[in-house]
Structures are given as structure tokens and as C-alpha cells.
A and B are shown apart, each in its own frame.
Chain A
Amino acid sequence: MSRMSSPKKRLARTSALAVFLVLTLLASLPSQVLAQSPMAQGPGCTDQGFPRTVVDGLGNEIRLERPPQRIFSATLATDSILLALADPGRVVGVTRYAADPAYSAVADKVAPHMAQIDQLNPETVLAARPDIVLVAFFSSQDAVRQLRSLGLKVFTFTEFNSLLDVIENIELMGRITGCDGAASEIIERTYAAYGRLAAKIASAKRPTVLSWGSWGSTSGMGTTLHDVIQMAGGINIAAEYGIAGWKEIDVEAIIAMNPDVIVTSSGQAFVRKVLDDPALRSVAAVASGRVYHIDHTDALDHHIFLAVEELAMKLHPEAFR
């Protein structure tokens, strides 16, 4: 209990409080700036919903106090999705394939400040001082363990075998980076585009399609390319014949399967080779000239839907007139 304070004392107390508040604000300002600067986040990204725990494909729980600002991506798949969602300023490392337009749709987003690796290289990763490292299940397990033993957070992506996996990976990336909004936006756009596509080709007869590459292998059930064919309104003949995963097939098998269409990602030269091959002359696809190279079939991010569209246009040209 106090007596009625004099005006001088009140002023002193208010000033002290003000100074205290300003000092506190100043002290917390750097982290606030980093956390909330619109530059560092990019559109569709916030720090709402943090801290949060994300669970990776191997079941590891990773706690994120705030959206990661120094992300190191160690596979092309994660490079592509990451750079599509988050601001490049938050990415401190990618694979060198990400910078190569022949492999990557986001090559233009790779900036000089990003370290580039070939295989997962613990030294380079560590030197970039990341706050999270994104790897795939096929990255060197020893290297991953080494990174974990150094105290780094490592998130392993494990599903790369279907279109649904692509969608889920985009969602996951959104959760990790705090760019849930951007992720949702991409996913909705993709679904919408697909919906329009599906409407166009719904009633069309489905031709049998064989995927084949210069390596001699086809994509059976449980591969992304299988989904692409199915979604583009075709029937994956390899799956019909019970092939699962990527398997080598020989010319006799192709003749036996007799697909209506053959698709490849191995380029026009390969298309020509198939069309000119005397052994394949009896195959329906070769006889009718329906051998196509489709771009983007190797894409590991939402650009794979471009392949769906392109293939659909080739399979059902009449639906697009």
C-alpha cells in the first residue's frame, strides 16, 4: 500500500517500465525478425502451428521448434519439391542434379549460396550448418547415421512409387517447412487439373500401353509411371502381365503383349529405333506409329502431372479437339 505517489515518482516508474519494455523488445527483435520476416518465408508459408512434431517415413519423430531456415536437401526429389514450396533463401544445400535443367524443373531456383553435393557427403552437409537435412531411404545409411550422431535432424522420405506418394511428399514438405498453404495450393491446382482431364477422357476407350526405355526395362505395378499411364486413360499392359516394379523385358515379351501404345522417356532417337526395329513390326503400337516420348515422366514432384496430361493427349487426341 502506498501513499498517493507524486507525479515525479509516477513518471519515473512509467519511464522505467517503458525502458524495460523497449529493452525486452530489442533483445527479442532479432529472433522475431528472423521468424517473421516475410522475405524468409515466401508466400503460403508461416510460422503458425510451430513448434510441431513431424514423423518421417522410417517412423522417426522430429520436433521442429520453428520453421527450418537452413534446409539441406540431399536428393533430387526433395530438391524439386522443396524449391517449389519454400524461399530459396531457406535452402542451404541441394544435389547438383537440381541445378541441371536436363534433370530438374527447378534449376532456375538453385542459387549460388547453396552447397551442391553428388552423394550424401557428411562434411559438406555439416559445413552448411543446416537445421534439418532431407534424405531418401536410398541415401547412404552410414552417412545418415553419422549426421544423426553429430546432432543433426534428418528427415527420411521413403515413398516414391505412386502419384499419391508424390502428393503426400508435397504435403509432408509443406508440414516440415511451414509452407502448408503453398503445398495445399499446389495440390489443389493439381487435383483440379486432373479433374478436368478425367472428365475429358472418362468415356474414352482405354488402349493398352507399354512403358519401355533404352535400358530395356518396363514399369509394372507399384511404380509412378504405372499410375501415370492409368490416370492418362490407358491400361498398363506390364501390370496386366503381373510385372511389379521395374523389370527388364525382352522383345519377345513385347510382341506377346502387343501393346496399342509404347511410351518412353528415352528421347526421339529411341522412338525412331523402336519404329524401325523389324522384330517389332507386328506390334500394334509400332504398326500404327503410336510410339511416343513423353517429357517429365521422371519428375519426382508435381511436374509429373504434366506427363499425365501429355500422355492423355497422345492417348485420346479426340477428347482434346
Chain B
Amino acid sequence: MLAAENVACTLRGRQALRGVSVAVGAGDFAGVIGPNGAGKSTLMRALAGILRPSAGRVTLDGRDIHDIPERERARRIAYMSQNPHVAFGFRVIDVVAMGRYPYRHRFSPLDAADREAIRDAMEQTGVAAFAERPITELSGGERQRVFLARALAQQPEILLLDEPIANLDVRYQLDILELVKSLNTSRDMTVVMAIHDLTWALRYCRSVIALREGTLAAFGPAASTLTDALVEEVFHVPARVIEQNGHPSRVDIGV
């Protein structure tokens, strides 16, 4: 469905990605792993269609993503950047409503479909209670859920999340991961998520994209791809993938 074909990206004169080819099928839950600077965010932005590759191309259902009009693309792909943030004290409901931009015409107010999508998104992420409050008054975890709601308000087929749980309490990390998983399983939403924690990646992702210094180190089903050897190669640390009940269940680092 969403694929990168031999993609290279240059950022600030530096080659951030080189020769990366991956394909994410419909309904997949792919985790993008790698150390800082490996190119995770760059790949996410390229896949989202907001960063133009210097070589190769990103395709959505076979079409070059940059040939697709922005609004149409935004109705199908929602992207949440790392550390999202909104300037000024917009209310939660206003922030979530931004996600309806791809569906709205310039001067029309929110219609019924818009309002329903917004309400649905807020309820799913559990922020409906904060609707009227300025986003600046919320805690980190609450804010992250609002941004997730905004992405959901786009009613996308594909959800691209760049490190959505990086700075959150464990409890909120779990909340969001569970929510995203349920979106993936019950709503058939394709998810690509850049993630730091390898154990979470192992537990939640069905496939894994491993990046190392801008190149693709490995790509495939999580269970078979995320091995001790891969972790050592990509992260330069000794690691052991621990199984439980026959499934890989966590990654221990430094053993």
C-alpha cells in the first residue's frame, strides 16, 4: 500500500537516507527502529509525503505520493510528528478540528460529518472531557492524546506516528500503544510507528523496519527480523530476545 522505492533523502547537506526500500501492506503495523540519527524521522516524513526524496520515490497504491494532491493524500494518510506542539492557546477541540482540514471547504463551517469525526476521535483517545480547555493547560500525556485525536479526526487509512510515546509516563505509553493496536486490529488502520523501546516494538508491531546510519539494516516480520544479531548490528550493544510462551516477548539489552 505505502512503499518506499530506493529512497534517498538529503537534509541540510547531509545524506540522511540512502537506498531504502520498504513496503507496508494494508492493515500492517510496522515499527521503525534504530538509534538516534539513523534516519527514522526522515523516513517517516518521506512516507508521509512531506519530504521530497532526492532519489527514488514514495508510492501510495503505486502512485507517486507527490503526484497526489495534498488534501487527497491527507484524507488517506495522517502523520504525527515527534514532539508535536501548537503555538498559542488553542482549545483541545480546535486542535482536533484541525484534522478535518482535508475535508473542508474554505468558508464553510464544520458540518455534521466533521463534528462526528471530531467527537469520535476525542472519545477514542479519551480527551473529550478536555474539549473546551486550552491545550497549554494539559499534561504531556494528555496533550499527546489530543494530537493523536487530531490525526484520527483525519479518518485516515494509514497512521504514521513518529515516536508517539517518547516522553510519556509508562502508564500513558501503555494507553496509547493499546489504543493504536486496537485501531489497527478493529478498524483495519495501517500503522507505521517509529519507536525507541525494542520491547514495545516486539510486542505490538507485526513488521519491523530497522535503520542504521541512513540505510536499511533489515525489514520483515517482527518475530523473525528482530533478533539478537540485528540489535547488536544496529545498536552496537549486546542483546537477547527473550521468548515467553513461544512468542518473542522482550528484548534485554547488555546481557
Contact present between A and B (CB < 8 A): no
